[in-house]
């Protein structure tokens, strides 16, 4: 159900508020370019700085604006289980197709704590759930054993987004769970190696600005044309790396501004790019022939 190119959508701001006009245009842009699904209120969407009211409204707006033309996944993770339940229940209520739940961050739960956290949400809210493993940000990794335990006991735990360079982990997940469980890359530069091991796609930062190219990469890999997928990977590799010159989503939102897609506006503690890094990003975008307007 969830495969191919899924964009981790930025949340546009204007004068301190969510810019819903720009958000609607971004969703339309991805529908036009064949993106398979949009993820709203993820880390790339600056979810940590959204209020609960804004978070709920962004998800509801995305579902309503998409109007069935593209799947909508809502980021509903939190480091408190009751908060994750609230966000996930709202996502289901307004019609999101799935929820992405990040591993709780900072409080570093044990594997039993992670199991109970995700199990509680899965029991409380009957919506497809994709778990999000990103130990570099959360401070703890959900083990393959815990992942398999959840997938075997809760049919609505349907996949995981993996932001890790550990390809042995991907092999072990696919070996144990097979095609019944979806694995998605959480890092554009690792999409091709993960898909070569059986992953079904990517939750992509780069797709914010090159959606057709990311879609072509995942489509090629899914049909087994790894030669073409590799060509696209190397063509985009420099861009993949440039979008992480600073903490995500600072570079990608800056790129969106350079392309005239939204304002270059962040909420503290995120700030504008260092001018030298912004110049480097600008040069990479120009090298790709992207139409800069700022």
Write the pLDDT tens digit of every residue in 238-289: 999 999 999 999 999 999 999 999 999 999 999 999 999 999 999 999 999 9
How many angstroms separate the CA atoms of 60 and 41, rounded?
Answer: 11
Q: What pLDDT, on the 0 to 100 scale, is given for residue 205?
A: 98
Residue 291 banded pLDDT, cuts 50, 70, 90: very high
Tokens describing residue 154: 């809760």
* 214 labeled part of a ligand binding site: no
Mean of pLDDT values over 3-32: 98
Q: What pLDDT, on the 0 to 100 scale, is given for residue 273?
A: 97
**What architecture does CATH give domain 4-225?**
Alpha-Beta Barrel (3.20)
> Are 194 and 170 spatial neighbours (Cβ–Cβ below 8 Å)?
yes
Active site residue ranges: 132, 161
Is the model's pLDDT at 39 over the cut of 90? yes
Is the model's pLDDT at 182 over the cut of 90? yes
Mean pLDDT for the chain overall: 97
Q: What pLDDT, on the 0 to 100 scale, is given for residue 111?
A: 98
Give this prediction's pTM.
Answer: 0.96
Mean of pLDDT values over 83-99: 98
Is the model's pLDDT at 1 over the cut of 80? no
Q: What pLDDT, on the 0 to 100 scale, is given for residue 201?
A: 98
Q: Please count the other Cβ atoms lying within 10 Å of the Cβ belonging to residue 21.
A: 11
Over residues 149-173, the pLDDT tens digits come to 999 999 999 999 999 999 999 999 9
Residue 193 banded pLDDT, cuts 50, 70, 90: very high
- Listed as own residue / partner, the contacts of 20-23 with beta carbons closer than 8 Å and 24 or more positions apart are 20/61, 22/261, 22/262, 22/263, 23/58, 23/61, 23/62, 23/65
CA distances from 264 to 19, 235, 255 (A): 12, 26, 9
* 247 labeled part of a ligand binding site: no
* Residues in Cβ contact with 163 at an 8 Å cutoff, skipping those fewer than 6 apart: 132, 133, 134, 135, 136, 137, 185, 186, 187
């Amino acid at each position: 159900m969830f495969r191919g190119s899924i964009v981790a959508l930025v949340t546009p701001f204007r004068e301190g508020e969510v810019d819903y006009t720009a958000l609607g245009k971004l969703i339309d842009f991805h529908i036009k370019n064949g993106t398979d699904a949009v993820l709203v209120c993820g880390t790339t969407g600056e979810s940590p700085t959204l209020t609960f009211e804004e978070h709920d409204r962004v998800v509801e707006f995305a579902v309503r604006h998409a109007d069935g033309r593209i799947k909508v996944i809502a980021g509903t993770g939190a480091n408190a289980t009751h908060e994750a339940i609230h966000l996930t229940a709202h996502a289901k209520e307004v019609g999101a197709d799935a929820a992405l739940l990040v591993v709780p961050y900072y409080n570093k739960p044990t594997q039993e704590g992670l199991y109970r956290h995700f199990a509680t949400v899965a029991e409380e809210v009957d919506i497809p759930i994709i778990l999000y493993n990103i130990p570099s940000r959360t401070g703890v990794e959900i083990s393959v054993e815990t992942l398999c335990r959840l997938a075997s006991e809760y049919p609505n735990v349907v996949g995981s987004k993996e932001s890790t360079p550990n390809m042995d982990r991907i092999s072990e997940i696919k070996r144990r769970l097979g095609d019944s469980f979806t694995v998605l890359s959480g890092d554009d530069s690792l999409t091709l190696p993960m898909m070569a091991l059986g992953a079904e796609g990517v939750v992509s930062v780069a797709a914010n600005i090159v959606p057709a190219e990311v879609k072509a990469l995942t489509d090629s890999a899914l049909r087994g044309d790894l030669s073409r997928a590799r060509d696209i990977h190397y063509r985009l590799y420099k861009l993949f790396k440039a979008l992480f010159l600073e903490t995500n989503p600072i570079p990608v939102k800056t790129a969106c501004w350079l392309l005239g897609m939204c304002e270059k506006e962040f909420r503290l503690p995120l700030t504008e790019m260092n001018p030298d890094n912004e110049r480097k990003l600008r040069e990479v975008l120009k090298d790709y022939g992207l139409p800069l307007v700022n």
